[in-house]
Amino acid sequence: MALLIISREIDVSVASIAALAAVMMGIAADAGLGAPGLVAVGLATGLAAGLLNGAIVSVLRVHSIVVTIGTLSLYRGIAVAIVGDGAYTNFPADFAFLGRGYLWDVVPVEFVIYLVATIGFAVLLHASIIGRRIFAIGSNPEAALYSGVAVTRYRVGLFALTGLMAGLAAVLLTSRLGSVRLNIATGWELQVITMVVLGGVGIAGGTGSILGVTLSVFLIGLLTFGLSLVNVPGIVMNIYLGLLLISAIALPNLIRIGATILKSTSKET
């Protein structure tokens, strides 16, 4: 999501993609597929959903927030229609290792996957030509296009990558819970966007860092964990997250306005 927002796009359907991927894995588990096959199904579903988002945005030239609001309802609707009031629980025992397993009985497997992904995205964004092109697209898409950057291809690729990571999140979440119900990953899109924006990624594109997003992930993780310890309801947590998101977007603008006012006042005096 950080890379996508840096490129001046956004995907508010990530939680619905995760839900759809989880449901597809539930169907595959009922069909007798093993753990490696379930991981492949989850990742493939996320990738396909992300590709569809990118294709619609690029071909129809509709703003990504409009497209992904539509696919948010589409993907979630498909998932709910399939699972209904029931649940998928017939997952193989070895599938739980990804979400509940430990390496050397100390380090959670999920955390290792997170670290590998974080380092990979940091290298991709800050130490490769692909990252420089993503920043260029976010700063000025037209200038990037005339400079020879395949803007459309990069946009589709970033949507696909976002969908793939949503599929990975579905794999880890389903592995941890051991079941899939209709409310899985509900509200995650707000948390994801809040983490990215609070981590310093400019909502208008062109600026941001993986380090800032990583610090934001831990901050919000500690916040939600602390609130859950004092039995704060989930809906109240969403209020706090919403306030954090508004503050993260509004604060830089308020600082900029205040600096402009101070500068103009000093000139008048």
Residue pLDDT, tens place only, 46-73: 999 999 999 999 888 888 999 999 999 9
pLDDT computed for residue 194 by the predictor: 86
**Contact in structure between 37 and 56 (CB atoms under 8 Å):** no
The 3 state secondary structure assigned to 50-78 is: HHHHHHHHHHHCCCHHHHHHHHHHHHHHH
Across 74-166, the runs of DSSP E, i.e. the strands, are 102-103, 107-108
Cβ burial of 262 (10 Å; 0-12, 13-18, 19+) is: exposed
pLDDT computed for residue 268 by the predictor: 65
pLDDT computed for residue 8 by the predictor: 92
**Contact in structure between 83 and 182 (CB atoms under 8 Å):** yes
pLDDT computed for residue 269 by the predictor: 62
Gap between the Cα atoms of 104 and 22, Å rounded: 28
pLDDT computed for residue 244 by the predictor: 76
Segment (H or E) for 267: helix 234-268
Segment (H or E) for 120: helix 109-126
Q: Which domain holds residue 131?
A: 2-268
pLDDT computed for residue 42 by the predictor: 95
Q: Which residues of the chain have pLDDT under 70?
A: 234, 267-269
Gap between the Cα atoms of 97 and 30, Å rounded: 19
Gap between the Cα atoms of 111 and 62, Å rounded: 36
Query: Which DSSP symbol is given to 88?
Result: B
Query: Which DSSP symbol is given to 108?
Result: E
Number of domains in the chain: 1
**Dihedral, 46, 245, 58, 138 alpha carbons, nearest 10:** -120
Gap between the Cα atoms of 134 and 47, Å rounded: 20
**Contact in structure between 200 and 213 (CB atoms under 8 Å):** yes
pLDDT computed for residue 104 by the predictor: 85
pLDDT computed for residue 251 by the predictor: 72
pLDDT computed for residue 153 by the predictor: 93
Nearest in space to 4 (alpha carbons), one of 48, 72, 68: 68
Gap between the Cα atoms of 2 and 52, Å rounded: 19
pTM of the model: 0.87
